[in-house]
Amino acid sequence: MKKLMVLLMALMSTMVLHAQSKVYMTKEISPAALVRIYKALGVPAHGHVAIKISSGEMGGNNYLKPTLIRDLVDEVNGTLVECCTAYGGSRQDKGKHWETIHAHGFDSIAAVDLMDEFGQMRIPIKDKKHLKYDIVGDHLANYDFMINLAHFKGHAMGGFGGVLKNQSIGVASTAGKAYIHSAGFTDDPATAWKNLPKQDDFLESMAAAAQAVGDYFGKGNIIYINVMNNMSVDCDCDSHPADPKLKDMGILASTDPVALDQACLDLVFTHKGKPGDDEKPLIERINRQHGTYITDYAEKIGFGSKKYSLVMIK
Q: Spell out a b/e string for 135-151, using b for 16 or more CB atoms within 10 Å of the CB, else e.
A: bbbbbbeebebbbbbbb
What's the pLDDT band for 239 if we cut at 50, 70, 90? confident
Q: Average pLDDT, stretch 301-314? A: 97
Task: Report the pLDDT value the prediction gives residue 92, as an integer from 0 to 100.
Answer: 85
Task: Report the pLDDT value the prediction gives residue 87, as an integer from 0 to 100.
Answer: 85
**Which has the closest alpha carbon to 38: 251, 205, 195?**
251
Task: Report the pLDDT value the prediction gives residue 7, as an integer from 0 to 100.
Answer: 42
Task: Report the pLDDT value the prediction gives residue 236, as an integer from 0 to 100.
Answer: 82
Q: Average pLDDT, stretch 235-257? A: 93
User: Which tops the pLDDT comparison, 144 or 93?
Assistant: 144
The answer on pLDDT for 6 being more than 50 is: no
Task: Report the pLDDT value the prediction gives residue 12, as an integer from 0 to 100.
Answer: 47
- For the stretch 143-185, pLDDT in tens is 999 999 999 999 999 999 999 999 999 999 999 999 999 999 9
Q: Average pLDDT, stretch 190-206? A: 96
What's the pLDDT band for 13 if we cut at 50, 70, 90? very low
Q: Average pLDDT, stretch 69-88? A: 95
Q: Average pLDDT, stretch 117-131? A: 98
Going from N- to C-terminal start, the domains of the chain cover 21-312
| H or E element in which residue 228 lies | strand 222-228
- Bridge-partner residues for 274, per DSSP? 277
Rounded to whole angstroms, the Cα distance separating 200 from 293 reads: 7
Q: Average pLDDT, stretch 84-101? A: 90
The answer on pLDDT for 88 being more than 90 is: no
Rounded to whole angstroms, the Cα distance separating 100 from 163 reads: 22
User: Which tops the pLDDT comparison, 130 or 16?
Assistant: 130
Rounded to whole angstroms, the Cα distance separating 210 from 168 reads: 4
Q: In whole numbers, what is the pLDDT of the chain averaged over residues? A: 93
Task: Report the pLDDT value the prediction gives residue 238, as an integer from 0 to 100.
Answer: 79
21-312 — its CATH code? 3.40.50
Task: Report the pLDDT value the prediction gives residue 221, as an integer from 0 to 100.
Answer: 98
What's the pLDDT band for 60 if we cut at 50, 70, 90? confident
Task: Report the pLDDT value the prediction gives residue 45, as an integer from 0 to 100.
Answer: 98
Residue 23 contacts residue 263 (beta carbons within 8 Å):
yes
SS3 for 167?
helix
Task: Report the pLDDT value the prediction gives residue 72, as an integer from 0 to 100.
Answer: 98
The answer on pLDDT for 220 being more than 60 is: yes
Residue 20 contacts residue 305 (beta carbons within 8 Å):
yes
| H or E element in which residue 200 lies | helix 199-217
Task: Report the pLDDT value the prediction gives residue 8, as an integer from 0 to 100.
Answer: 44
